[in-house]
Each structure stands twice: as structure tokens, then as C-alpha cells.
Amino acid sequence: MSSTADPSRLETAAYRLKSALAALETAVARRIEGDLSHGALNLQLDAAQSDRARLAEELDHSAERIAALEAANRDVAGRLDQTMDAIRSVLATHGA
């Protein structure tokens, strides 16, 4: 009886082949899952970058509005000071 025809060796070889195929299928499934996960992460990254750009633009607009409001506040405060000084002057002149 030749060693290549030995049933136990054939069974062992078949078992090893099945195990190797199962390992290959597992590796392929992991790779596919990893690729899909990588694609999903890229989509999330793109969305985050888009949100960041939008938020940066909104922040710039808000900073401009704050600067304009601060300038208007300074202008109004100056006018109020002038008006109060004028009222004090009139009151002082007319003895009230």
C-alpha cells in the first residue's frame, strides 16, 4: 500500500485543506469588513470636515457681528456721555 493512498493521510490532508479554506474565508470577510468600515470612516471624516468648514464660517460671521456691535456700543456710550454732559450743563446753568 502506497503512502499517497493511505486513507488517514487523505483525511488529514482534507481536514487541513478545509481548515485553510475556512481561515481564508475568515480573512477575506475581515478584509471586506475592514474596507467597509474604512469607507464609513471616510464618510464620517468628510462630514466632520464639512461641518468644521461651516462652523468656521459661522464663527467668522459671528466675530464680525460682535465687532460691529462693540463699535455701535462704544458709539452709543459716547453719545450718551455727551448727552448727559449737556443735560448737566443745562441744569447747572439754570440752577436746578
Residue 1 pLDDT exceeds 50? no
Among residues 18, 21, 23, the alpha carbon closest in space to that of 10 is found at: 18
Whether the model clears a pTM of 0.85, i.e. scores above it, the answer is no
Torsion of CA 55, 60, 62, 64, to 10 degrees: -170
pLDDT digits (tens, 9 = 90+) for 20-59: 999 999 999 888 888 878 888 888 899 999 999 999 999 9
Task: Report the percent of the chain where pLDDT is more than 90.
Answer: 64
